Amino acid sequence: MLTPMPDLSLVDGLVQLTFAVQDILTRMAEEHDLSLAQLRLLGILRDREPGMRELARYLDLEKSSLSGLVDRAGSRGLVERVPSAEDRRAATIRATARGRRLIRLVEAEVEAEVAKLVAPLSSSERRELAQFLAKLTPGAA
């Protein structure tokens, strides 16, 4: 066989894990009345103040989709548009103080939940797992 055997249990395990983690993210976001999209938006704005075009690229969204997302987050006081001084077409998107507080809170809660998820592993197993994951997601922040 030329193609490597997919190894079903690994694939299934990864997909299951994926849904478990996404569930955590969605649940924690919902507890603060946020969607996953809003959570991702705020997560990116934690340490950046990008323009719409750049932000759309980060989130892999069309700019028109992003307009609405930013509108809705803005009307809830989570982000704001900051007009660019040099280019009067452009604006930069910034998380408000409230948005920043919220994302920090939710991220802490997600961390706690993920910590529970990996609790069945011993600490050395967790270290190994982290190393494996680092090999799989080179772009990890």
Would you tell me which residues interact with a copy of itself (CB under 8 A)? 3-4, 6-18, 20-22, 25, 110-112, 114-115, 117-121, 125-126, 128-130, 132-137, 139-141
Scanning 6-14, 81-89, 107-115, 124-132 for contacts with DNA by CB under 7 A, the matching segment is 81-89
For residue 6 the two structure tokens come to 């997919």
Taking the C-alpha atoms of residue 22 and residue 123, their distance in angstroms, rounded to an integer, is 23
86 contact choice in a copy of itself, DNA, none (CB below 5 to 8 Å, kind-dependent): DNA
Nearest-approach distance from CB 74 to a copy of itself, in angstroms: 24
**Closest C-alpha to 108, from 31, 48, 38:** 31
Output the smallest distance, CB 13 to a copy of itself, in A. 3
- Residue 83 parent element (H or E): strand 79-83
d(C-alpha 15, C-alpha 20), whole Å: 9
